[in-house]
Each structure stands twice: as C-alpha cells, then as structure tokens.
Amino acid sequence: MMEWTDRHCRYFHRILTRRARLYTEMVTTPALIHGPRARLIGFDPAEHPVALQLGGSEIKALAECARLGEAQGYDEINLNIGCPSVRVQRGAFGACLMREPSLVGDCIAAMRAAVRVPVTVKCRVGVDDCDSEQSLFGFVETVSRAGCETFIVHARKAWLKGLSAKENREVPPLEYELVYALKRARPDLTIVINGGILTLDDADAHLTQVDGVMLGRAAYQTPWVLADVDRRLFGANHSAGTRFEVVEAFMPYIERELAKGVPLNVMTMHILGLFNGLPGARAFRRHLSENAIKRGAGLDVVRAALDHVRDVPAGRAAA
C-alpha cells in the first residue's frame, strides 16, 4: 500500500471506523534513518490504534527503526515480508525474505529487544515454485521461535520473477485453506488473513477460521466498507453516519492541513471511492480529480463535489 495509506488516508479511515487497526504504508529502513522522519512516520493521535509497517533486512537498522516507531507512539511495529516488487527485491527485503526465515527471526528478535510494543510479521504463503505448506509452516515455526506471536498472511504465493507487483496480487491462486490449517496447527499464535477479501461478509466467514482479517485495496478503493466494521465485527453500537457526514467530519482536518500548505488533492485522493456504486459517483470523482489539483483549491471544491452527488435525480443509474 505504498503511497496509498499515508497519514491523510488513515485519518479519513479512522472517521469510518474507530476500532479497526490501521497500518502505515511500508517505510524502508534507509528512508526512515536518513530521510524526513516527521513526514515519513508522523501521524495524528486520532489514528490510534495504528501500526508502523517497516521494510528492510538489516538487523541493526530494523531495531533502530522499531525504536523510532515506538518513540513516535505507534501501537505495533510490523515487518513486511510480503511485498514482491522489483524495487523491493533489489533492496533484498520484502517477499524474497520468505527464503530466509532464520534472518527474519534474527530481525524479529532484535526488534522485540528494542521495543515494548508488539512486533508482528506480514508474509506470503511462499515464493515461486516452493511447496506452499512447507514454506509457510517452516517460516512461521522459525520466526515464532524468535518471539513473533502474530502473523498476517497474504494467502497467495509471490512470484519474484515473471509477474509484476500488480499481477502478484491477482494471478497466484488464493490458498485460504492453507492459512486456516496454519491456525489449527498453531493455536498459540494470532493468525490474520489477507488477500482478495472484498466485503464484511467475506470477513465474517474467515473469522470462523482465523483470528483476524486485513483489508487492503478493498478498503482503499471502496472505503465505505469500513463504515460497518465496528458494528459487524466489534459489536459496537455507534455509527459513522452517512457518506456526506463522513466527508463533513473530514473537512476540519482538510482545513488544518491546507493551512500548513498541504495541497488539497493530496487529501481528497483518498475519498474518491467513497460514493462508488451510487448515482453521481462518477461526477463526484471527476470534480475532485479535475479541481483539487488547482493552485489554491480549498474546501469549496469538496463541497461542490458533494453537490454533484446530491443533484443526481433519484433512481438514475450509478456510475
């Protein structure tokens, strides 16, 4: 979710759900150690509970970045062993580390020694032509010995050669039953399932087999799916309100960030999918896309986009 789940996105998602745990985009250890730290891992207190997702394979660097994340106030530090992109492979981290469980275990041990908050792993079921069951079970066995108690498993292999990052999210078959089997074999661990989960009905079904569900692109592209998470999955009795009320609740944040010099489109890009499936959704998206990028664009652009949705006659086909 690099360049997607930034702090503006997470603030917006927190309006939709108070209870779901939010994850940052993956931040690489060199970027965090040498780059603009406040911009990379700064967040609003409203985002809690929120986890920092790190990418890297150098033990000392990961321990240092875990310390930085804890000092910033994150509730969890997550190590990404699932990203298959070519750029990530060149850095010798991400999904290629599925082949090096001992190194991952050493990284986890060092990170856990550096912080008091939980350190977790996000992984795949395997890579390339490996046996998925042997790969996943062996990886989890080794890394859990280093003290990792929570594994977020994207239920697909990653093909490190021959498939793009996008294809790796769609082409390898989903192996949900394998993740269920992992939970049965390791009831002592917290197993969270990820991959191809689009609805809360899907999530409910998975939760009969595992401890948690992670939504990725579905939550970003159709964010309204998050609006019923607290009631459906946590038994809460509060509501996010209507889509219009959610945007209104986001506006004070937008106004504050505009005053700091943040361009409007950097924030509104995350709400483009809010009205998907409803009449006027296309007009809403178009107005924001065309006008939020303009110099000096402000809240009037957002309000005008909402008017496009309201102005569509009832019963007109959704776009």
Interhelix angle 132-145/101-114, rounded to 10 degrees, is 30
Domain that holds residue 101: 7-234
Q: Both 249 and 230 in a single domain?
A: no
Q: Domain tally for the chain?
A: 2
pLDDT class for 92, splitting at 50, 70, 90? low
Looking at 234, 256, 290, the residue that finishes a domain is 234
309 in Cβ contact with 275 (< 8 Å):
yes
What's the mean pLDDT in 96-110? 95
Q: 257: domain CATH number? A: 1.20.120.1460
Report yes or no on 45 lying in a domain.
yes
CA 281, distance to chain mean position in Å, is 24
The CA-atom distances, in angstroms, between 139 and each of 38, 136, 144, 178, 186 are 34, 5, 8, 13, 13
Active-site residue list: 83
Give which of 23, 24, 106 is closest to 57, Cα–Cα: 106
Report yes or no on 196 lying in a domain.
yes
Q: Both 19 and 136 in a single domain?
A: yes
Q: Both 19 and 164 in a single domain?
A: yes
Report yes or no on 317 lying in a domain.
no
Kindly report, residue by residue over 48-86, the tens digit of the pLDDT. Answer: 999 999 999 999 999 999 999 999 999 999 999 987 766
98 in Cβ contact with 124 (< 8 Å):
yes
Report yes or no on 258 lying in a domain.
yes
Q: 99: domain CATH number? A: 3.20.20.70
Q: Both 180 and 261 in a single domain?
A: no
Give the C-alpha separation, 191 to 181, whole Å.
10
pLDDT at 318: 45
pTM, to two decimals: 0.93
Q: Both 93 and 197 in a single domain?
A: yes
Q: Both 262 and 151 in a single domain?
A: no
Q: Both 154 and 254 in a single domain?
A: no
Looking at 203, 234, 265, the residue that finishes a domain is 234
Say whether pLDDT at 184 is over 60. Answer: yes
Q: Both 145 and 250 in a single domain?
A: no
Q: Both 251 and 147 in a single domain?
A: no
Report yes or no on 316 lying in a domain.
no
Report yes or no on 275 lying in a domain.
yes
Kindly report, residue by residue over 121-156, the tens digit of the pLDDT. Answer: 999 999 988 899 999 999 999 999 999 999 999 999
Between 284 and 311, the higher pLDDT residue: 284
pLDDT class for 270, splitting at 50, 70, 90? very high
Q: Both 48 and 189 in a single domain?
A: yes
Say whether pLDDT at 2 is over 70. Answer: no
The CA-atom distances, in angstroms, between 210 and each of 190, 191, 278 are 8, 6, 33
Report yes or no on 318 lying in a domain.
no
Q: Both 211 and 261 in a single domain?
A: no
Looking at 234, 254, 273, the residue that finishes a domain is 234
Which helix (H) or strand (E) element contains residue 221? Answer: helix 217-221
pLDDT class for 319, splitting at 50, 70, 90? very low
Q: Both 13 and 117 in a single domain?
A: yes
